[in-house]
Structure formats: C-alpha cells, structure tokens
C-alpha cells in the first residue's frame, strides 16, 4: 500500500468532501480515503500496482474539482 496526499481546490462544503470520497472509493485498488475540507487535502491509501496517482487525479478532476500540484 502507498499513501498519497493531493491538494484539491474547489471544495466548499461537506457535500464536496462526500463527492470526492465516493468517486475515489469506486476506483479499484483504493483501500481508504480521507478528505479534509479545512486543509483542502485528500489522503488516499492505495495499491500503486492497481491504481496510479494520475488515475486518482483524473477521477478528482472528472468530479469537477481542481488538483493542485
């Protein structure tokens, strides 16, 4: 397992947090997702041989949020 932290712009409420968690938890290889509205961060525990960072970022972007590198 690998832990990745991603900065996310565009979250304004707990509904946004829930949307991001739902999208990421549907990806294969994701074991745990923690999203902080206050810090604008998502911490993702994943299997890098199943799902890569770029796939995770793409899922966040597809959900309507901006990933900040």
The answer to whether 66 and 8 are in contact (CB under 8 A) is yes
The residue with tokens 């972007």 is 61
Question: What range does the domain containing 24 cover?
Answer: 2-68
pTM value? Answer: 0.92
Average pLDDT, rounded, for the chain: 97
- Torsion over CA of 14, 31, 50 and 42, rounded to 10 degrees? 30
The average pLDDT across 52-57 equals 97
Q: DSSP secondary-structure letter at 27?
A: S
Query: pLDDT tens-digit profile of 11-35?
Result: 999 999 999 999 999 999 999 999 9
Cα–Cα distance for residue pair 48/46, rounded to 1 Å: 6
pLDDT at 69 over 90: no
The CATH number of the domain holding residue 15 is: 3.30.70.100
Counted domains in the chain = 1
Among the listed residues 31, 6, 30, 10, the one whose alpha carbon sits nearest the alpha carbon of residue 19:
10
């Amino acid at each position: 397992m690998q832990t990745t932290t991603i900065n996310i712009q565009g979250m304004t409420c707990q509904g946004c947090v829930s949307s991001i968690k739902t999208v990421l938890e549907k990806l294969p290889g994701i074991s745990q997702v923690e999203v902080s509205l206050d810090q604008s961060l998502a911490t993702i525990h994943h299997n890098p041989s199943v799902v890569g960072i770029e796939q995770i970022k793409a899922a966040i972007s597809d959900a309507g949020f901006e990933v900040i590198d």
